[in-house]
Amino acid sequence: MAVLLQVIVPIFAIIGCGWVADRLSLIPGEGVVSLNHFVYYFALPALLFSSLSTAPVSQLINENFILATLFTILTGFIITVFLFTYIWKHHFPELSLYGMIATYGNTGFIGIPLLTAIFGEDGTVAAALATFLYDVILITLVVMSFETEKVVNNKHRNQKNILPVTGMIGSSVLLNPINASLLLGIVVAIMHVPIPSFVSVFTDTLGQAAAPAALFTIGLGLGGQNSLFKSKTHHVSEFLTLLSLKLVVLPLIAFLFAFVIFPFDNETWAMSVVILSALPTGAVVYVFAEKYQTLVKEVPLYTLAITVVSMLTISLILLIMVGNGH
């Protein structure tokens, strides 16, 4: 119960403040966009760089964490693709987007502030590494799926088609501000580059705004998506399957890999793998749905509903794992 009061309630209370602000129109529409961009382009990158650049190299090369996260993502993705192929008869490449819905967690806006609040610096580093792994694996799979279909349909299997795909994957994964800050922080830590004090003060101060601003923005987003509940485009059975895969099945898979197959000396990292897997679907999925004009109406609804339900499931997981010390 102490965990519920000290961690979960404050975090979801901040989300609730954002929702109330939206419902009462306390923040104009352009303000919502501006706050979201502030978190994405400034506050979160500052927090990640500050945490990773000073982290011990042994944490950044945590093989068990990397392997447990990698196999959790791939296993969940494969199970989703299998189910949506043989039960609902969906086809390539939209299957990759279903796989992304069921496995891509909101590690940036929810995972980083959540684990930072629970585990401190260790939690921030774990969430940062997971953010990079989720992006590298899932964005690559989705982009390759859709771009490969274009190549096949156009019947042009030459270098001119392959190079743009490679460039798109590279820019999507490596050049967004969050992953760029991750890479820079890792390089600084591994090479033991000294950080000037004014840089440390700047990133530390700016990074402190990341967690509350990100959580508040989530609440604003939930309020702004209320009209989606009226949508009739979704299929209940598909949604319930995606909901179960994301919030129940994936955490169970993560538990298997983190506590059984790749056991950790430090349970903080093992618990981080499970908690991060239990996060709701990240908003980045909609970026690719819009880009490839696939599941454009369904993805916002699924993401919103999974986010709402995750408030309960994440609370239960934290009470079980953190409250009881696993």
Domains of the chain: 2-321 (1.20.1530.20)
Contacts of 67 (CB under 8 A, 6+ apart): 257, 262
Q: What is the pTM of this model?
A: 0.77
Inter-axis angle of helices 112-119 and 267-277, to 10 degrees?
A: 150
135 three-state secondary structure: helix
> pLDDT tens track of the chain, all 326 residues?
555 566 667 777 887 888 888 888 888 877 777 887 888 788 878 887 887 787 777 767 788 999 999 999 999 999 999 999 999 888 888 899 999 999 999 887 788 888 888 888 788 888 888 888 887 788 778 877 887 777 666 655 555 555 565 665 566 556 667 778 878 888 888 888 888 999 889 998 998 887 788 778 777 766 655 555 555 555 788 889 999 999 999 999 999 999 999 988 888 899 999 999 999 998 778 777 877 888 877 887 888 788 889 888 988 888 887 765 55
Work out whether the CA dihedral 260, 254, 186, 172 comes out positive or negative: positive
Helix (H) or strand (E) holding 266: none
